[in-house]
Amino acid sequence: MRRLLDKVLKLPSQENLFDIPSLPSDLTFSEFNQRTTRGFLARKLSQYLDLTDEEGNRLCYQSLRESSFLQSDNDSEFLLQLSEKMMKWHEQQQDVQKEIEELEIKNHLKNALLKAHDMHKQDLFRSSSPQSNHKQVESFKDKDITEWEIYRDVIFAATQGQFLLISEEEISNFATGNVFCEGTIKERTDIPLCRNKAKESLEQLGFSKSKFVGWLLVLSEAITNTIKHAEEGQMTLINDEEKNEVRFLIKDKGPGFPLEELPKKTLLAGYSTKKSMGQGFTLMMKMAKQVLLCTSSTGSTIILVFEADKEKGDLSAGG
Ligand SMILES: Nc1ncnc2c1ncn2[C@@H]1O[C@H](COP(=O)(O)OP(=O)(O)O)[C@@H](O)[C@H]1O
Ligand SMILES: [Mg+2]
């Protein structure tokens, strides 16, 4: 649906603003963080100004594209420019509130800036060096909801809704439907075992091989990850006829994903040609309609969502 919307909303510009931004492969984490934070702030401003969600998303993508908007005189980049200014003032230890008040802009805009600063000053406007503290998700969730939300919102927007971080409670929303196959993941030999089990069950349900061959590939990747990064886990395959989806849930009791790695895995995946980075996430993002992830220091659940249409044809284009 979102993708369809994005298509409909395609802007008649040289570059499609709803494309996943092309990020340089040498983008450092702090630069990435700066861009995502700026996008998050601009998105908040757009919310306070009652702009549409699409406009908020566009700002997020746009923020990822450019290193700076301070010189921009493009109206559509004004909120990004203001967000960047706020960040800069803070960095230079200026009185952000005073600076906002002195801006020559309309009052409603000023109020939005003040609100954004007020709401997010503790977590956004602080100098952090992500390299030095390799935080796990749980610490984000417990002490730092906003930072978790930034990751969730920005990755969601930048992947056009394809990758979504979800909370523990939200898992149940995706666990409804008919469980048609289950398996335990403990050792390497479970990889082909689970894959074969899944294959047989999918065949029994009437899916064609050409349809599920890609699904099995990413299932193998997810299971391999469980063994490689998390030891023990469980796979559950669900057929949700109501939503016309097949979902693979892979749950483990591992240490959780390092949050700050996620943007790279989900957004920069295609760019890391030099480093021999894992292909697991790249493949998941390529093959699945959506990838959902719930992760904390006590374990992770990854949910791969696939379109279930059994009839081949041009249905998929309709969303
Ligand atoms: N089940 C998991 N638990 C914790 N971290 C994981 C899990 N699966 C993947 N990861 C993290 O995500 C990264 C990317 O995974 P992937 O793209 O499959 O590459 P690779 O497995 O080759 O490292 C891993 O390096 C690891 O840090
Ligand atoms: Mg892997």
pLDDT tens profile 19-46: 455 566 667 767 877 888 898 899 889 9
Tell how far the Cα of 278 is from the centroid of ligand 2, in angstroms: 5
Note down the domain range covering 56.
2-133
Is 303 inside any structural domain? Answer: yes
- Smallest-distance ligand from the CA of 265: 1
Is the domain of 121 the same as that of 215?
no
Is 143 inside any structural domain? Answer: no
- Smallest-distance ligand from the CA of 282: 1
Range scoring the smallest mean pLDDT among 10-19, 155-164, 210-219, 255-264: 10-19
Q: How far is Cα 136 from Cα 140, in angstroms, rounded to an integer?
A: 7
Is the domain of 171 the same as that of 119?
no
Q: Which residue has the higher pLDDT, 97 or 145?
A: 97
Q: Which residue has the higher pLDDT, 201 or 93?
A: 201
pLDDT, mean of residues 199-210: 96
Is the domain of 183 the same as that of 253?
yes
- Closest-lying ligand 1 atom to the alpha carbon of residue 233: 1
Q: Can you give the pTM of this predicted structure?
A: 0.67
Is the domain of 168 the same as that of 314?
yes
Q: How far is Cα 36 from Cα 272, in angstroms, rounded to an integer?
A: 19
Is 243 inside any structural domain? Answer: yes
As for how many domains the chain has, the answer is 2
pLDDT of 3 above 80: no
Q: How far is Cα 286 from Cα 304, in angstroms, rounded to an integer?
A: 11
Tell how far the Cα of 280 is from the centroid of ligand 2, in angstroms: 4
Q: What CATH number is given to the structural domain containing 182?
A: 3.30.565.10
Residue 296 near ligand 1, beta carbon < 6 Å:
no
Is the domain of 54 the same as that of 183?
no
**Ligand 1 binding pocket mutation candidate from 228, 260, 293 (most atoms within 8 A of CB):** 228
Residue 266 near ligand 1, beta carbon < 6 Å:
no
Is 155 inside any structural domain? Answer: no
Tell how far the Cα of 177 is from the centroid of ligand 1, in angstroms: 28
Q: Please answer whether residues 177 and 237 qualify as being in contact, where contact means their C-beta atoms are separated by less than 8 angstroms.
A: no
Q: How far is Cα 225 from Cα 257, in angstroms, rounded to an integer?
A: 11
Residue 233 near ligand 1, beta carbon < 6 Å:
no
Q: How far is Cα 135 from Cα 139, in angstroms, rounded to an integer?
A: 7
Is 216 inside any structural domain? Answer: yes
Largest CA distance in the chain: 68
